[in-house]
């Protein structure tokens, strides 16, 4: 056991229109403007701020149902609930519902009485109503802290954050980064490009890139881990939120994600390997290894990187770009200021390299030379767009189909033979299939080939496209292509950055 202090996880609850979202937005923006680490990513459903050099994780969109599911699964991740009650409205039905959930989950609560900037506030009435619903505030001899705030003006927000730190410090929140992995799903969805996406907060252990995972009956691998700033990261420690891409299905909210290579002994909370033997921990059994100096890429296997040549208009801009890059994902072969040179093009032509021109015009002569040399030049004037494209390309390196947009799907109904050629009799199920489309041949959800259509026939007529619900006969350029009745033909388009 190697317990370390971890950051607290806070959930905001309360009645509709009492200012939960406004309060979260004010906290987020005030921290960013103060130069502290902040930022919200809606697809993760959580974000972090720094208060007095200490991180706090806020769950952004728990919802009462999600909160209840976490409690029911015994996967409660919240350390403290901030119950928001409007000073002009008092305790309402969803406030009462929130109190019930808080009581059932047995988690500490801090009350934020919001909207104190309004003229018609009734602070004492609100506190009396809280007492009536078993939340005994300190002024009335109880132990529930109350902070009066205005999410609109920011009054009292700093006191609220300080109170959160004080309460959570007293809780002495600790976790073991070497323990068996436990990460709680706070949001999950299925993205058209990324596939299943799980937003989690790590409770115990360490979540690592390429780790084999299991969530209930769902298995998978952590192909990509994104933090709350949408940056690719290698590992996640307890208390931190992260988005996981790579699971085979969409897990339920509140589900625990674990290391698939481990079986768990509930008595000792130890990790057993699949043969039933106790897994050796890094501490003790591996004393002779200096893990601090061991390169993580060596442990996980070498990762392919995007190769870049960057030219910018001025040094300040160039420095900002370089500081924004994830250098675990990209390899900058050359960078500098000024126009793209012939030497830049020659360096980029030797292998698959992306040449970036930032805030720079590219002459027609340079464009023509680049085309002849097979070099792609990308123009940017916003760093965010550049980083977004690079992250998109990293996903592409990890999964060749991540950037594909399906334009048509057809099922092979029958196989015919004519003049020594095998013909696939198809019916289009969705979209359309064109003769020159990029195609996948799928069997049992697995891509088994990428066929190229030689001829497309309808009866005796040669055609160029088959529309939805229509039928056709296809022959392929690869005469040895193994296709069967029941296979699917998937047409797609692809927007490749490189």
Mean residue pLDDT across the chain: 80
Same-domain pairing of 250 and 321: no
Q: Which of the 8 DSSP states describes residue 234?
A: S
Last residue of a domain, one of 116, 139, 174: 174
What residues are paired with 405 via a beta bridge?
Answer: 493
Last residue of a domain, one of 136, 158, 174: 174
**Contact criterion met (CB below 8 Å) for 262 and 271:** yes
CA distances 35 to 22, 28, 41, 228, 387, Å, are: 20, 11, 18, 17, 21
Residue count of the chain, please give it: 498
Same-domain pairing of 86 and 35: yes
Map 393-407 to HEC letters. HHHHHHCCCCCEEEE
Give the tens place of pLDDT for each residue, 388-406: 777 667 666 555 555 577 8
Backbone region of residue 19 per phi and psi (left: phi > 0; alpha: psi in -120 to 50; beta: other values)? left
The predicted structure's pLDDT at residue 15: 82
**Contact criterion met (CB below 8 Å) for 178 and 154:** no
The predicted structure's pLDDT at residue 102: 86
CA distance 254 to 75: 6
Structural domain harbouring 124? 4-174
CA distance 368 to 355: 14
Confidence grade of residue 16 (pLDDT, cut at 50, 70, 90)? confident
Same-domain pairing of 163 and 24: yes
Q: Is 286 exposed, middle or buried (0-12, 13-18, 19+ CB in 10 A)?
A: exposed
- Report the range out of 10-24, 128-142, 315-329 with the highest average pLDDT: 128-142
Residue 484 domain flag: yes
Same-domain pairing of 44 and 133: yes
Residue carrying the six token digits 């996981």: 244
Residue 246's domain is classified under what CATH number? 2.40.30.10
Same-domain pairing of 342 and 315: yes
Same-domain pairing of 189 and 224: yes
Residue 162 domain flag: yes
DSSP string covering 406-438: EEEEEEEEEEEEETTEEEEEEEEEEE-EETT-E
CA distance 354 to 476: 34
Residue 152 domain flag: yes
CA distance 163 to 8: 12
Res. 440: pLDDT tops 70: yes
* Domain count along the chain: 4
- Tell me which of 123-132, 325-334, 453-462 is least confident: 325-334
Residue 329 domain flag: yes
Same-domain pairing of 418 and 335: no
The predicted structure's pLDDT at residue 17: 81
Residue 300 domain flag: no
Residue 252 domain flag: yes
List, in sequence order, the alpha helices (H) in 76-213.
Answer: 93-105, 123-132, 157-171
Of 55, 155, 77, 169, which Cα lies nearest the Cα of 115? Answer: 155
Residue 297 domain flag: no
Q: Region 236-263: what's the mean pLDDT?
A: 88
Of 368, 470, 388, which Cα lies nearest the Cα of 429? Answer: 470
CA distances 171 to 6, 59, 160, 430, Å, are: 11, 19, 17, 56
Same-domain pairing of 111 and 136: yes
Same-domain pairing of 122 and 263: no
Same-domain pairing of 51 and 189: no
Give the tens place of pLDDT for each residue, 125-160: 999 999 999 899 998 889 999 999 999 999 999 999
* Kind plus residue range of the DSSP H or E element containing 309: strand 306-312
Last residue of a domain, one of 373, 398, 423: 398
CA distance 127 to 136: 8
Residue 485 domain flag: yes
Same-domain pairing of 460 and 391: no
Residue 170's domain is classified under what CATH number? 3.40.50.300
Same-domain pairing of 152 and 223: no
């Amino acid at each position: 056991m190697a317990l370390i202090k971890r950051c607290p996880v806070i959930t905001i609850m309360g009645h509709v229109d009492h200012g939960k979202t406004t309060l979260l937005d004010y906290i987020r923006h005030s921290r960013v403007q103060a130069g502290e680490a902040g930022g919200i990513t809606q697809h993760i459903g959580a974000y972090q701020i720094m208060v007095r050099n200490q991180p706090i994780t806020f769950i952004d969109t728990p919802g009462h149902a999600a909160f209840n599911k976490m409690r029911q699964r015994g996967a409660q991740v919240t350390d403290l609930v901030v119950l928001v009650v409007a000073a002009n409205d008092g305790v309402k039905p969803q406030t009462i519902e929130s109190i019930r959930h808080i009581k059932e989950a047995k988690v500490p609560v801090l009350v934020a009485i919001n909207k104190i900037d309004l003229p018609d506030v009734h602070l004492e009435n609100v506190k009396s109503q809280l007492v009536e619903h078993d939340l005994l505030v300190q002024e009335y001899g109880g132990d529930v802290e109350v902070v009066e705030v205005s999410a609109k003006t920011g009054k009292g927000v700093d006191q609220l954050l300080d109170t959160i730190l004080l309460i959570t410090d007293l809780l002495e929140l600790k976790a073991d980064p070497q323990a068996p992995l436990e990460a709680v799903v706070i949001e999950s969805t299925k993205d058209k490009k990324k596939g299943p996406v799980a937003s989690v907060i790590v409770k115990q252990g360490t979540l690592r890139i390429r780790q084999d995972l299991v969530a209930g009956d769902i298995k998978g691998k952590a192909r990509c881990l994104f933090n709350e700033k949408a940056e690719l990261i290698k590992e996640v420690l307890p208390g931190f939120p992260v988005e996981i891409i790579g699971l085979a299905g969409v897990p339920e909210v509140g589900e625990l994600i674990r290391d698939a290579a481990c079986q768990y002994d509930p008595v000792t909370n130890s990790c057993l390997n699949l043969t039933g033997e106790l897994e050796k921990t890094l501490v003790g059994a591996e004393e002779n290894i200096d893990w601090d100096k061991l390169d993580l890429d060596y442990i996980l296997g070498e990762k392919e990187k995007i190769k870049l040549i960057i030219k910018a208009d001025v040094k300040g801009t160039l420095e900002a770009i370089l500081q924004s890059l994830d250098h675990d994902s990209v390899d900058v072969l050359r960078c500098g200021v000024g126009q793209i040179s012939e030497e830049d093009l020659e360096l980029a032509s030797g292998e698959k390299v992306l040449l970036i021109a930032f805030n720079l015009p590219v002459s027609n002569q340079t464009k023509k030379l680049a085309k002849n040399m097979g070099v792609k030049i990308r123009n940017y004037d916003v760093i965010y767009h550049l980083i977004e494209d690079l992250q998109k390309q990293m996903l592409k390196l990890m999964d060749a189909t991540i950037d594909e947009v399906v334009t048509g799907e057809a099922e092979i109904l029958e196989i015919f033979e004519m003049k020594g050629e095998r013909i696939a009799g198809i019916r289009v199920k969705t979209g359309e299939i064109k003769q020159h489309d990029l195609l996948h041949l799928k069997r049992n959800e697995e891509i088994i080939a990428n066929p190229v259509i030689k001829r497309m026939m309808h009866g005796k007529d040669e055609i160029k496209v088959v529309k939805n619900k229509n039928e056709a006969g296809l022959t392929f350029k690869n005469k040895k292509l193994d296709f069967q009745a029941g296979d699917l033909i998937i047409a797609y388009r692809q927007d490749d950055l490189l």
